[in-house]
């Protein structure tokens, strides 16, 4: 669905990353890890077609008619809108809200376990509940590729585990690129995992070798192999953290 070829990005002559190559396929979760500031979120913005103010070389080829949705770390719910209108935000903004879109939004809120909270204001929702509403909004967009930028990082451990499982269940038919700082999250959910890291101080970041967990996602950490892969990811991330 998306093919990234020899992608490099510079800010004011300072390279952030270089020669990145990555293909995203249908119905596949891919996770991207790396230290803060290495360029993970910037890469998502480039894929989404959002200007990063940098100098770009290389190509991002998106197949025709592929629709892209982006779920950032902050849920970006609009406090002056109802929960239902937050889910059907596109229709609200473009004057396309109707009884049909409202009913669809309610059905999606039911899917994410939020139907009983429709009467609440956004300010009354917990962090986990807000992310469920944001997930329903992603589903409302009916995208082919979903970009997830650390959407579960602010949740407590139990809520994070629950939302991970829910997101995986509801996005199974989509292609997903997940940016995360959490090796366990990547190993639980992904078919392929990359670490974006610099090999030397002040050098542009590149991708690590691909890590491919076995077994069906979402995985539980009962497999010895997953603990070994987590240690491998932590070592790569720790090495990169020491350079920044």
Please list the pLDDT of the chain residue by residue as tens digits (244 residues): 899 999 999 987 788 899 999 999 999 999 999 988 888 999 999 999 887 788 899 999 999 999 999 888 777 899 999 999 999 999 999 999 999 999 999 999 999 999 999 999 999 999 889 989 999 999 999 999 999 999 888 788 888 899 899 999 999 999 999 999 899 999 999 999 999 988 776 788 889 889 999 889 998 877 677 888 888 888 888 766 544 4
Cα first-last separation, the chain: 33
Listed in sequence order, the residues at least 6 apart from 150 whose beta carbon sits closer than 8 Å to its beta carbon are: 73, 179, 180, 181
For the 2-241 domain, the top CATH level (class) is alpha beta
**What span, in angstroms and rounded, lies between the C-alpha atoms of 60 and 22?**
9
The domain spans of the chain are 2-241
């Amino acid at each position: 669905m998306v093919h990234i070829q020899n992608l490099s990005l510079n800010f004011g002559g300072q390279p952030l990353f270089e020669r990145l190559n990555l293909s995203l396929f249908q119905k596949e979760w891919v996770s991207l890890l790396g230290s803060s500031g290495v360029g993970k979120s910037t890469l998502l913005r480039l894929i989404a077609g959002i200007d990063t103010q940098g100098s770009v070389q290389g190509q991002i080829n998106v197949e025709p008619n592929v629709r892209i949705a982006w779920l950032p770390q902050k849920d970006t719910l609009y406090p002056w809108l109802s929960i239902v209108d937050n889910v059907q935000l596109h229709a609200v903004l473009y004057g396309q809200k109707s009884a049909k879109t409202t009913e669809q939004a309610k059905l999606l809120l039911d899917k994410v376990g939020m139907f009983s909270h429709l009467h609440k204001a956004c300010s009354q929702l917990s962090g986990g509940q807000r992310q469920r509403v944001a997930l329903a909004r992603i589903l409302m967009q009916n995208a082919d590729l979903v970009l997830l930028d650390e959407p579960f990082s602010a949740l407590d451990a139990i809520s994070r585990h629950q939302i991970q499982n829910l997101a995986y269940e509801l996005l199974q038919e989509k292609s997903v690129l997940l940016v995360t700082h959490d090796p366990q999250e990547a190993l639980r959910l992904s078919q392929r995992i990359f670490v974006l890291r610099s090999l030397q101080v002040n050098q542009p970041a590149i991708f690590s070798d691909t890590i491919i967990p076995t077994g069906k996602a979402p995985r539980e950490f009962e497999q010895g192999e997953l603990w070994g892969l987590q240690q491998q990811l932590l070592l790569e991330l720790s090495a990169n953290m020491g350079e920044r």
